[in-house]
Amino acid sequence: MSYSKDTLDRIFHPGSVAIVGASDNLFKMGHRCVLSLVEIGFEGQIYPINNKVDSICGLRTYPTLMGAPGDVDLVIIVVPATYVPEALRVAAKKHAAGAVIITAGFKEIEDRTGAALQTEITRIADGAGIKIIGPNTFGMVNIGAKLNASFTPPFSHLKSGTISMLGQSGGVCHLVGFQAIDEGVGMNKIVGLGNRCNLGFPELIDYVGDDPETRTIILYLEGIEEPRAFMEAARRVMRRKPIVGLKVGQSDAASRAVQSHTGSLSGKYGLYYSAFEQAGIVPAYDTVELLDIAKILNIAPRPGGNKVAVMSFQAGPGIMLTDLCVSHGLEMAQFSGETVNGLKELWPDLTIRCNPVDLAFVSDMDVFGKAAKLVLEDANVDAVIVFYLDVMSFFTAAISEQLIPLATQAAKPIVLCVNFPVKLSTPETEQGLARFHENGIAVYPLPERAVKALKGLVRRAEIERTFR
Amino acid sequence: MSYSKDTLDRIFHPGSVAIVGASDNLFKMGHRCVLSLVEIGFEGQIYPINNKVDSICGLRTYPTLMGAPGDVDLVIIVVPATYVPEALRVAAKKHAAGAVIITAGFKEIEDRTGAALQTEITRIADGAGIKIIGPNTFGMVNIGAKLNASFTPPFSHLKSGTISMLGQSGGVCHLVGFQAIDEGVGMNKIVGLGNRCNLGFPELIDYVGDDPETRTIILYLEGIEEPRAFMEAARRVMRRKPIVGLKVGQSDAASRAVQSHTGSLSGKYGLYYSAFEQAGIVPAYDTVELLDIAKILNIAPRPGGNKVAVMSFQAGPGIMLTDLCVSHGLEMAQFSGETVNGLKELWPDLTIRCNPVDLAFVSDMDVFGKAAKLVLEDANVDAVIVFYLDVMSFFTAAISEQLIPLATQAAKPIVLCVNFPVKLSTPETEQGLARFHENGIAVYPLPERAVKALKGLVRRAEIERTFR
C-alpha cells in the first residue's frame, strides 16, 4: 500500500483531539477550533491546551499537551510558527497519528526561515510517524465521524454525505462547503492540504479512493510538485470513483500568486487540464461547477452519449437551456418519428414543438408524465433536462409523482432545473426536491448550472466507457 | 413624444384593476392574479370578475366587467383566447387604458387562427386607445406603485428599487425576479411583453427611460421585428440611463423555439450583440449576469479604465479572481512604486505580494484600511475587488468601517465579494451588506459573479465616455 492507511484512519476517526493554542478569546482561531469540535458534537475526547483559563467552550483545559490524559490521536496546532516544532515533538511523545497545523508562515513566505521551519517540522513528523495536514490550512472535516478539525464552526452544519473534497486552498474549500450547506449537498470529508509537508494529493487520493464513506471526489489544485504520483493515484482511483477537478493559475498574475500562497509552482494551466483528461478527471472551471458536477456524478445513471432532450414548462428558460446545451458541446436530440407522433397525440390542438419540448400549455400532469416517458424511451435521447418554476407548492409534488417512477425505471439521467425564491420556499418544495435527489435526479436552480453538470456527467460516462 | 406616456402612466399607476377570469380555484391563474394584487397590498380598487362566487380572496366579485363600478384603468384578462376580443370590447367601454392579456394561443401557435385572433384584438385595442401587455405574458409588476398585475403572487415580495426589466419571456423574468427577491435587489417594474400587439420594446424603453422611478434598465430579447425603432429608442435612453441586455437563440434549435414561443423570428444572435454594442447596451450572457450587472450599474461610480486591484483575505479566491479578471478582458493593475513601498511598510515582516494583495495575515483592520486606501489612490488602479469569507459576524462590520469611508471619498468602484452560508447568516451580516450597497459598493457571493459585474461596469464606463 502506497499510503499509511492506519495512520490516516486514526487521523480521520480520532478517539481524542488536542488543540494546542486553544483560546477563550472569541476572535482567535484557537477559540474557533474548539468551537468547531463542540458544535459538530464530536464524540471523542477533546483536550484544549491552555495554561491561563480553566475551561473553554465548557471543556476542561490542560496547561500542557504533555499533561493531557493518555495518548492523543490528532493534534490541532494554532500557535505561532516558531512554536510549532516543539508542539510536534510533544505530539510525538503523545503518540499522535496526525497534526492539523493551521499556523501559517512556512514555505509559503518568501523569507527563507519559513522554508527552513517547514523542513524542520517535516523531519520531526517523519521521525515520529506523524502525518501533517498543513501547515497553512483551515484544517479538515470528516462529517461522517462528526469531526470538525478546522477553524470554521459553520462546517459543523454540513449534511453528512458521500462527496469528499481535497483542496489546496482553504478559501476555495469554504466556497464549496458553504454552497453544500446552503443547498443541502451531503459531504463526507473536506481536507485543506495547505503546504503539504508529508501528506499530499497522491496519498489522500488513494485514501479517499479506498474510503467506503466516499463515493465521489473533488480536487482543487493550485500547483503540485509530484505530477507522476498524482497521475498514478488519480488513474487508480478514477476507475472505481468519479473525480472532478478544478485548477487555477491560468494567468501570469495568478500563477505568481499561487507560488506565494502554498509555495507551489503553478505550472502550465493547460497542461493540468490535459493531465485531467489523461487521468480521467472530469474538468470543472469554477467552484459552483465543481460541486454541481460532483453532485450529479454521485447519484445519476450514466448517459450513453451526449444527445439531450429539453422539456420546459416555461418557453424562455427552455430556449436558454437549448442554447447552453449546444454551446457546451452537447447535442439536441432529434426525436424519432414515433416520439413526435406520440407527442402530437398528447397535444392534438397545438402544433408539436420538438426539442425543446414546450410544456407551457400542459396543465394535466398525466400528460406531462406520458410525454416524459415517450421522450425518455426514445433511442435518440441520452439524457433529459426538465425545467419548471416552482411558484405553487403543489407543483413539485405533482412533477415528482410523474418523474420519479420514470427515473427509477430508466437507465438514463434526468436533470431537473427548478427555480423559485429560496427565501419563500416551503417545506413541501424542499422535501419534494430531496425526494428527486434520493431517486437519482440531480436538481439545479439555474439553466447554466444544470447544463454544466450534465456536461460533466456526459464526460464521466465517456471516461467509464474508455476505461471499462 | 413617440409613445403614449399618459396611457402608460395609467397602466402602471392604475386607480382600479379588474380581473376578467378571476377564479376561486387556487390552482387557476385567475385566482393567482387576484392573490398577487392582494398580497402586494394594492391600494386602488380591485374588481374580480366572476359570476359564480360572491367573493375571491376576501374581495367582492362582479358578475360582469360592465357591471363593475365606474371606469377601469387596467384590465387583466385570463379567459380562454376566443373570449378575449369580447373582454377587450367591454374594457373599451369602461375606458380602460391598458389590458394585461395573460391568455395564450395567439400568434405564437402555428395554427393560423391564433394570428388572426391577435390581429383582431390589436384592432379592437387600437380603436379604443388601449395598450396591450401580452398576450401570452405572465403580466407585469410596478413595485413602487404596489401593483402586482401578474399570475405570480411571490413577486409581491420584491423589494422596491430602481431597476426595471422588460422581458420577452415570463420564465426569464421570473429567474431575474426570484434572484432579486432572494438577494434583496430592489426592483421597480418587471414587464413581460409577450406577443407584443401594440406595445413593444421601443415604446417601453422610452417610457422607462423617462420614468423617474427607473434608474437602470434590463432587457431580455428573443427576437424583435422593429430593429430600427428598437435601436433608436435604446440610443436615446442609454445616454441617460444604463441598459443591460441578454439575447437568446444562438443555436438553430433555440432559434426555432423562439419562433414558436412569442411568434418572433430570432434573427442572427451575433447581430443582436453587435447591435447592443452600437446602441450602447451592456451585454450579458445569462440571467444572473443580467441582474448582477444592473445592480452595480445602478449604484457604483464609473471606473476610468479596466485596471483592477484584487485584495483578498483568502489566497485561493484571490487567485481565482485574478484568473477571472484576465480571462474576462480586465487587466491586473501594476501598482506604483509608492503603493508597493507603502504596502511593504504595513507588512514589514512579510514579503509584499503585489496584485492580488494577499490579506491572509492581516488581523488588524486598520492595517487593511490603510492598504485599501493606498491601493485605491494608486493612479494605476481603476477598480478594486475585495474578497473575504464572512465566518464571524463581526467581520463584515469591521470591513465596512474601513471601506465605506474610502468608498464615499473615492471616485473609483469597489466591488465586494463576500461568501458565507446564507442559511446561517446573521442579521448583522445582512445589515452590514445592505450598508455597503447603500454606499455604492456592490456585493456578490462568488468570484465569477463579481468579475462579470465589474466587466459590465467597465463597459458602461466606456459607453459613457464614448457618448459623452
User: Nearest-CA neighbor of A138 among A262, A49, A7, A253?
Assistant: A262
- Please state, in angstroms and rounded to a whole number, the distance separating the CA atoms of residues B196 and B387: 43
Strand partners for A167: A192, A220
Query: pTM for the whole thing?
Result: 0.96
As to burial, measured by CB atoms within 10 angstroms (0-12 exposed, 13-18 middle, 19+ buried), residue A184 is: middle
Contact predicate A266/A254, CB 8 Å: yes
- Please state, in angstroms and rounded to a whole number, the distance separating the CA atoms of residues B113 and B107: 8
CATH 3.40.50.720 in chain A is located at: 1-138
Q: B65 — phi, psi (to 5°)?
A: -65, -40
Strand partners for A133: A100
Torsion angle defined by CA atoms of residues A214, A217, A218 and A224, in that order, rounded to the nearest 10 degrees:
120
Cell of A263: 509555495
Cell of A403: 418523474
The DSSP symbol for B2 reads -
Contact predicate B193/B164, CB 8 Å: no
Whether B254 and A319 lie within 8 Å, measured CB to CB? yes
Cell of B316: 485561493
A-chain residues near B260 (CB < 8 A): 315, 351, 353, 358
Contact predicate B128/B37, CB 8 Å: no
Q: Which residue stretches of chain B have pLDDT < 50? A: 1
Buried b (16+ CB within 10 A) or exposed e, A190-215: bbbbbbbbbbbbbbbbbbbbbbebbb
Whether B421 and A154 lie within 8 Å, measured CB to CB? yes
Cis peptide before B135 (omega within 30 of 0): yes
Nearest to B322 among A257, A314, A332 (CB): A257
Contact predicate A454/A296, CB 8 Å: yes
Query: Is beta strand A147-150 parallel, antiparallel or unpaired with respect to A139-142?
Result: antiparallel
- Please state, in angstroms and rounded to a whole number, the distance separating the CA atoms of residues B418 and B399: 11
Q: Identify the CATH assignment for B1-148 out of 1.10.10.10, 3.50.50.60, 3.40.1390.10, 3.40.50.720.
A: 3.40.50.720
CATH no. of B158-299: 3.40.50.261
CATH 3.40.50.261 in chain A is located at: 158-299, 301-466
Contact predicate A103/A132, CB 8 Å: no
Q: How far apart are the first and last CA of chain B?
A: 23
How close A437 gets to chain B, by Cα (Å)?
20
- Please state, in angstroms and rounded to a whole number, the distance separating the CA atoms of residues A14 and A16: 5
Give chain B's length.
468
CATH 3.40.50.720 in chain B is located at: 1-148
Cell of B243: 441598459
Cis peptide before A356 (omega within 30 of 0): yes
How close B127 gets to chain A, by Cα (Å)?
30
What is residue B80's three-state secondary structure? coil
Among B320, B358, B444, which would you mutate to test the A interface (most chain A Cβ atoms within 10 Å of its Cβ)?
Answer: B320
- Please state, in angstroms and rounded to a whole number, the distance separating the CA atoms of residues A76 and A22: 9
Torsion angle defined by CA atoms of residues B353, B355, B359 and B361, in that order, rounded to the nearest 10 degrees:
-10
For chain B, the farthest-separated pair of C-alpha atoms sits apart, in whole angstroms, at 82
Nearest to B253 among A262, A332, A423 (CB): A332
Class of domain A1-138: alpha beta
Nearest-by-CA chain B residue for A253 = B322
Whether A104 and B360 lie within 8 Å, measured CB to CB? yes
How close B7 gets to chain A, by Cα (Å)?
28
Containing A456, the helix (H) or strand (E) segment is helix A447-466
How close B297 gets to chain A, by Cα (Å)?
23
- How are strands ordered across the β-sheet holding A147-150? A147-150, A139-142, A187-192, A160-167, A216-221, A243-247, A282-283
pLDDT tens across the length of chain A (468 residues):
467 999 999 999 999 999 999 999 988 999 999 999 999 999 999 999 999 999 999 999 999 999 999 999 999 999 999 999 999 999 999 999 999 999 998 988 777 899 999 999 999 999 999 999 999 999 999 999 999 999 999 999 999 999 999 999 999 999 999 999 999 999 999 999 999 999 999 999 999 999 999 999 999 999 888 899 999 999 999 999 999 999 998 888 888 887 766 666 666 778 889 999 999 999 999 999 999 999 999 999 999 999 999 999 999 999 999 999 999 999 999 999 999 999 999 987 665 568 999 998 888 899 999 999 999 999 999 999 999 999 877 889 999 999 999 998 889 999 999 999 999 998 888 899 999 999 999 999 999 999 999 999 999 999 999 987
CATH H-level, domain B301-466: superfamily: Succinyl-CoA synthetase domains (3.40.50.261)
Global ipTM? 0.95
Q: Chain A to chain B, count of Cβ pairs less than 8 Å apart?
A: 231
Buried b (16+ CB within 10 A) or exposed e, A25-51: eeebbbbbbbbbbbbbebeebbbbbbe
Strand partners for B247: B221
